[in-house]
Amino acid sequence: MGLKSKVVRTRVEVEGVVQGVGFRPFVYRTAKELGLTGFVLNSSRGVEIEVEGAGSAVMGFLENLENSPPPLARITSVKTKEIPTENSRAFIIALSQDTDRKRAHVSPDVAVCRDCLREMRDPADPRFRYPFINCTNCGPRYTIIMDVPYDRPFTTMAVFEMCEVCAGEYHDPLNRRFHAQPVCCPGCGPGVWLANKEGEEIVAKDPVAETIRLLEHGRIVAIKGLGGFHLAVDAGNEDAVLRLRSRKLREEKPLAVMARDIDAAREISEPTEDEAELLLDQRRPIVLVKKRAGSKVSEQVAPNNRYLGVMLPYTPLHHLLMEGAFPALVMTSGNLSEEPIAIDNGEGLKRLGNIADFFLLHDRDIYLRADDSVVMFAGGRERPLRRSRGWAPAPLKLPFPAPPLLAVGAMIKNTVLVARGQDAFLSQHIGDLENIETYHFLVLTVQHPRRIFDVAPEVAVADLHPDYLSTRYAGSLDGVRLIRVAHHHAHAASCMAENGLEGPCLALTLDGMGLGTDGTAWGGELLLAEYATFRRLGHLTNVPLIGGDMAAREPWRMALSWLIHAYGPELPKAEVLKRHREKLPVLLKMVEKGVNTPPTTSLGRLYDGAAAILGIRDAVSFEGQAAMELEMAARGVSEPYPFEVKEEGEMLKADPAGIIRGLSEDVERGRDVSEIAGSFQTSVVEMFSEMTRLAGERTGLSRVALSGGCFQNRFLLENFTHRLKGLGFEVFTHTEVPANDGGLPLGQAAVAAAIIARERKA
């Protein structure tokens, strides 16, 4: 007998997202096919397997495990060990070892799979046209789980008792619904119904068909989905889109659309191959794709934008709804402006009653809301801009172990994170912490992972800004140590952590605003970053925010600020100044006296000023709007304007006075706006790259991390990467968490963990 056919027994421990994803049936089938005996069971940390048989078969088994696990499984580690043979006779799925199941990871929600869609479209199938069809490979997870272990009694499906047919499938190890917790059918599961805005049911033979008819007639329908309500209208009906905008108080921010399938997506946008792949990904994010000129989608869906947020259907109900005669449906979060997305039927009716004409409701409760995720493809990689449904709560890895901790983020685009050892769970998108509803959502979102991951935080990590609701929440926790981290240090550490970088390195952190260690508003920073500490090496010139917060809402104020900086008291005859002629004397007085004019080094605010000088936008209706529109107006790389990087003692200062003069003179001269905008963006890249080059010379560091909201700008991300590589730097960017404040808690956690580790060593 050769070595390979000798009988062996191997013990295998698999960790990661391996429960509730069809892992045991997969192991069972694979073992049977290879003629192996032994068992598989869910353990405290994942899945435990013992296989016995010919050495070659066991090797084949291990290969299969690594190379073709079930689609939803995310294996983080496989440990194998040879043990004595037991002469076992069969392969079985054994009962769970129920010591501590909380260590296993919970799967994110997953788009309906092909097998389920095929059944849904088969008139002979008992689940024909059933909007809640699902299986072990697909369906809701995170949003319906109230507690662990992930078993039906701990999900919102608990109220639906399985019928005999469903129970049969659920208990059969070879069935594709084996232990699919949300399994159900029209006979025993949830259903949909149509209601008017008073909540009264509208009796219809087929509520879905009736909803389609209403949408085709330009009505706004609130549709209860997987992670919350969507507000839907025909994206080709301009009147309907404008009505939705005015009722939702969302004047100009782009709205996402859902297209029937990839072909329909191609009729309204021009996805690259990579973007098409992302559209079809089982996580089903909204993908930013170039608009197709002359498509049937109204320009009002994403005004002044070359890109369109497109997604494909991800629930069976979506697939049914998309049978209507529209080019695409606007599917925007069911909320008023910046409040959290509504999830309950009653809550939806109350909060969306003034927006929607009708409601398509269902009775499968959503336990935890999850907005759609938003992703772009840039610089050859996927870039999450909002990491939410489909991603949360998949674990991220910290570069080193952390004590049980909670990181609460900052204010806008807020997310929170709990960490335990090297595992970090970043929450879904919570929103802007500017209203009490969002704050309540923060509190609920913090409690949930604490329960399902069994983390009792010993440390809370918050931003330096004392007035953020997140900071106040972290400070209110009893018996928990509070660690405060500077905003841009957290940005730098976030990028370092997801790239597994050890410090020190350079970090270019560019964003709208965050409180710095000197008490001023930072946002154009070059740092020398380590996890436990950082040092500011350089920054953009300070200019006043004239009128404080008002300056962020009215970019023309930043134009004035930068023009004063560039020209001194002899202001040029710029159009932007003429447009606000009456207000100038008061504002100039404020600057002169230093009243309500806090200084800032924010690159976002430099973009605002440039956008106003260019006549693109004087006032914004959402954060980052002027900068986004300047990016959209800009043609690619163009001749840069002059700038200076000054060395003031230890500090490098990037002074764009020449850039401001160059662009305002070009405006006077009547140069094409898209060319001026291109020159402006190129200048920004050149200026900060020069600063980074000087810092590299001074420090001898050759690695640079790029983080902050400005790296949502495709041009900045791609051109900084290219330029800095050209200067000999190794460049690190975000691909796992957003570059914006949505990725901040990862950095906060890494910094706090490093500080604690250093204390313990000392």
Interface residues toward Fe ion, by CB under 5 A? 511, 514, 741
Angle at 536 between CA 462 and CA 463, to 5 degrees: 10
**Footprint of Zn ion on residues 490-519 (CB under 5 A)?**
none
Residue 135 interacting with Zn ion (CB under 5 A): yes
To Fe ion, the closest distance from the beta carbon of 674 in angstroms equals 28
423 binds, among Fe ion, Zn ion, none (CB under 5 to 8 A by kind): none
Of residues 116, 188, 170, the one with CA closest to residue 364:
188
Residue 113 interacting with Zn ion (CB under 5 A): yes
Looking at 116, 659, 684, 695, which residue binds Zn ion (CB under 5 A)? 116
731 binds, among Zn ion, Fe ion, none (CB under 5 to 8 A by kind): none
* CA distances (Å), origin 293, targets 79, 199, 287, 673: 53, 40, 18, 21
List residues bridging with 648 in a β-sheet.
651
339 binds, among Zn ion, Fe ion, none (CB under 5 to 8 A by kind): none
Nearer of residues 271 and 390 to Zn ion, judged by Cβ: 390
Stretch that binds Zn ion, among 124-132, 137-145, 500-508, 510-518 (CB under 5 A): 137-145
Sorted by sequence, the CB contacts under 8 Å of residue 621 that are 6+ apart come out as 251, 252, 253
**Pair type for strands 396-407 and 459-463:** parallel
* Contact indicator for 269, 246 with CB cutoff of 8 Å: no
Nearer of residues 402 and 744 to Fe ion, judged by Cβ: 744
Stretch that binds Zn ion, among 32-40, 138-146, 200-208, 484-492 (CB under 5 A): 138-146
Residue 111 interacting with Zn ion (CB under 5 A): no
How many CB atoms lie under 10 A from the CB of residue 82? 11
Stretch that binds Zn ion, among 39-47, 105-113, 413-421, 494-502 (CB under 5 A): 105-113
113 binds, among Zn ion, Fe ion, none (CB under 5 to 8 A by kind): Zn ion
3-state secondary structure of 599: strand
Helix (H) or strand (E) holding 401: strand 396-407
Nearer of residues 140 and 743 to Zn ion, judged by Cβ: 140
To Zn ion, the closest distance from the beta carbon of 316 in angstroms equals 9
135 binds, among Zn ion, Fe ion, none (CB under 5 to 8 A by kind): Zn ion
The DSSP secondary-structure symbol of 371 reads P
Phi and psi at 177, nearest 5°, equal: -115, 15
To Zn ion, the closest distance from the beta carbon of 153 in angstroms equals 22
Residue 652 interacting with Zn ion (CB under 5 A): no
Where in 242-380 does DSSP place strands (E)? 257-258, 286-290, 307-311, 329-333, 358-362, 374-378
* CA distances (Å), origin 73, targets 23, 110, 277, 398, 469: 7, 11, 19, 20, 36
Nearer of residues 109 and 511 to Fe ion, judged by Cβ: 511
To Zn ion, the closest distance from the beta carbon of 117 in angstroms equals 8
Sorted by sequence, the CB contacts under 8 Å of residue 626 that are 6+ apart come out as 555, 607, 608, 611, 612, 616, 617, 620
How many CB atoms lie under 10 A from the CB of residue 95? 9
608 binds, among Zn ion, Fe ion, none (CB under 5 to 8 A by kind): none
Stretch that binds Zn ion, among 109-117, 143-151, 316-324, 642-650 (CB under 5 A): 109-117
116 binds, among Zn ion, Fe ion, none (CB under 5 to 8 A by kind): Zn ion
Which residue is listed with tokens 């190890």? 173
Residue 630 interacting with Zn ion (CB under 5 A): no
Of residues 173, 172, 165, 174, the one with CA closest to residue 133:
165
Residue 226 interacting with Zn ion (CB under 5 A): no
Sorted by sequence, the CB contacts under 8 Å of residue 644 that are 6+ apart come out as 654, 655, 657, 658
275 binds, among Fe ion, Zn ion, none (CB under 5 to 8 A by kind): none
Residues 684, 392: Cα–Cα separation, whole Å: 34
* Contact indicator for 189, 133 with CB cutoff of 8 Å: no
138 binds, among Zn ion, Fe ion, none (CB under 5 to 8 A by kind): Zn ion
Nearer of residues 514 and 745 to Fe ion, judged by Cβ: 514
Nearer of residues 116 and 258 to Zn ion, judged by Cβ: 116
524 binds, among Fe ion, Zn ion, none (CB under 5 to 8 A by kind): none
Residue 138 interacting with Zn ion (CB under 5 A): yes
Residue type, 688: F
* Contact indicator for 455, 665 with CB cutoff of 8 Å: no
- CA dihedral (510, 516, 522, 526) in degrees, to 10, reads -40
List residues bridging with 120 in a β-sheet.
none
Stretch that binds Zn ion, among 115-123, 166-174, 405-413, 598-606 (CB under 5 A): 115-123
To Zn ion, the closest distance from the beta carbon of 177 in angstroms equals 8
Stretch that binds Zn ion, among 108-116, 300-308, 591-599, 638-646 (CB under 5 A): 108-116
To Zn ion, the closest distance from the beta carbon of 282 in angstroms equals 11
Residues 672, 678: Cα–Cα separation, whole Å: 10
57 binds, among Fe ion, Zn ion, none (CB under 5 to 8 A by kind): none
To Zn ion, the closest distance from the beta carbon of 111 in angstroms equals 9
741 binds, among Fe ion, Zn ion, none (CB under 5 to 8 A by kind): Fe ion
Residues 668, 12: Cα–Cα separation, whole Å: 72
**Contact positions toward Zn ion, by CB under 5 A?**
113, 116, 135, 138
